Amino acid sequence: MKKHIIAALLPALIIPSAMACTTILVGDKASTDGSFLVARNEDYSANNPKHFLVHPRVEHQKGAFKSHANDFTYPLPETSLQYSAISDFDTNDLSMGEVGFNEAGVGMTATETIYNGQQVLKFDPYVEKTGITEDAIENVILPRIHSAREGVELLGKIIEEIGAGEGFGVAFVDQHEIWYLETGSGHQWMATKVPSDKYFVSANQGRLRTYVPDDTANYLGSKTLISFAEKHGLYNPKDGAFDFHKAYSQDVENDVTYNYPRVWTVQHLFNPSLKTEIKDGTAFPVFLQPDHKISVADVQAALRNHYQGTSHDPYANANPKEPYRPISVFRTQESHVLQVRPDLPKAIGEVEYVAIGMPSLSVYIPYYQGLEHYLPGYDKGTDNASQDSVSWKYRTLQTLVMQNYNAYAPEVEKAYAEFEKNTATQQASMEKEYLKLYQAHPQQAQKVLQNFEDKVMADALALTNKLTQQVITQMTHDTDMKYHFEGA
């Protein structure tokens, strides 16, 4: 992050814990290898372990999905596609799916929490009691769609007909494109296709602006999106082209310290030549062509960012009251990067890199779309720490490190970086072997893939356990020296 970052402004307001996520989307011509990248940090509560699941394909299904968050319901699809999900522990694994791929090759991440303008919400408030919310979106949409665009159209239809229970942004990706949808109010929404040569960043704020209703190849929206804004004085055609953000979103004092710094930081990581200042968030570009092509590792580094090397690093400076909200926070539940490589078979061409817990103190593991199961413990854990939960194993290490970040973090970060480097080499070998087998010997190819996954998951856990013991050993010594009371 640049050294001339402006001094902290007013401290951030107290924020509800649900206001928390950072999203990064990268078009295929903006990435180093021609892949589509969809990424997000899911931030909420450190005591909320995630369950990693593969929901099987279900035929002749009946009944309805019922939300755990409110009274929203929606008919189950007659045929539910197989899909992966990372769910909250207290939803019976049936909702709050957050992120995954389905068997048709469609991926999605849901949701980026955003807040629509107070003026528009006076005319069309959120349908809090029965509208769709983050709790339902993936588990309702992903089992039934066959393209990213279809996902946008279905979610948009639900918002218009049933309503949105809160403000959110949702990204969809397939082998051809990325789409991003934002709510405008209880029943208004718009979506745009991410330009193939550009990237997009969002941090708890509506960011979309341009909407061209006649260009349905690149823009979609609610039927009355513009006319509703005109009717209620949110947009006047005499002022120029329709601006979705001006009509339906907001810029408030809190954005200057809570949201703008994160968007600014990522944009300056990918575009060092960019001339913008944090305080000028309303003028940030929506889509940018990067100065250099963006890799999966670049996106992971951005999701791990906490203003390191500057006075705004809350961890190195031991300042929990730092006004600039970092991208990587301790309460991150999981961080993910969806990679879609259209020129490869879906089973290995679609990868979900996930770091459990705080990404700057965690390791990104590749989970392929063709994965059949996770290791035992990936579907375990409650809000009380336990040894049977994979999520808690990572969280335990992170909690220990945060007691003295400067003393313990460097070795953990170094070990995980080396693990990721070695894993990338193993990935390349596995994919090469898979491609030799998958057409003539699909079962053998599948075994190669699953064996790789089992080994990487086990090795990452073994390393985490080793690091945990190292930190405890050092903490024990440090405590001994602090309270030694040795004789004369």
Residue 249: closest CA among 447, 116, 138:
116
Cα torsion 173, 151, 147, 354: sign: positive
Q: Distance (Å, rounded) from C-alpha 392 to C-alpha 380?
A: 9
Q: Which residues contact 474 (CB under 8 A, 6 or more apart)?
A: 407, 408
- In 166-273, at which residue ranges do the beta strands (DSSP E only) sit? 168-173, 178-183, 189-193, 199-202, 219-221
> Do residues 116 and 167 touch, judged by C-beta distance below 8 A?
yes
**CA 169 to chain CA centroid, nearest Å:** 11
Neighbours of 266 (CB within 10 A): 27
Catalytic residue (one of 1, 12, 19, 21): 21
| Max Cα-Cα span within the chain | 86
* Strand order through the sheet with 99-101: 99-101, 107-113, 168-173, 178-183, 189-193, 219-221
> Do residues 186 and 164 touch, judged by C-beta distance below 8 A?
yes
> Do residues 470 and 411 touch, judged by C-beta distance below 8 A?
yes
3-state secondary structure of 353: strand
Q: Report angle CA 430, 50, 332 to the nearest 5 degrees.
A: 95
3-state secondary structure of 355: strand
**CA 147 to chain CA centroid, nearest Å:** 19
**CA 109 to chain CA centroid, nearest Å:** 6
Tokens of 45: 């509560």
Q: Distance (Å, rounded) from C-alpha 250 to C-alpha 396?
A: 38
Kindly tell me the burial class for residue 23, based on how many C-beta atoms sit within 10 Å of its own C-beta (0-12, 13-18, 19 or more): buried
Q: Distance (Å, rounded) from C-alpha 275 to C-alpha 271?
A: 9
**Catalytic residue status for 15:** no
> Do residues 290 and 199 touch, judged by C-beta distance below 8 A?
yes
Residue 363: closest CA among 417, 298, 294:
417
Q: Distance (Å, rounded) from C-alpha 261 to C-alpha 298?
A: 18
Q: Distance (Å, rounded) from C-alpha 133 to C-alpha 165?
A: 5
Q: Distance (Å, rounded) from C-alpha 247 to C-alpha 234?
A: 5
Q: Distance (Å, rounded) from C-alpha 195 to C-alpha 218?
A: 9
Q: How many residues does the chain have?
A: 488
Instruction: List the catalytic residues.
Output: 21
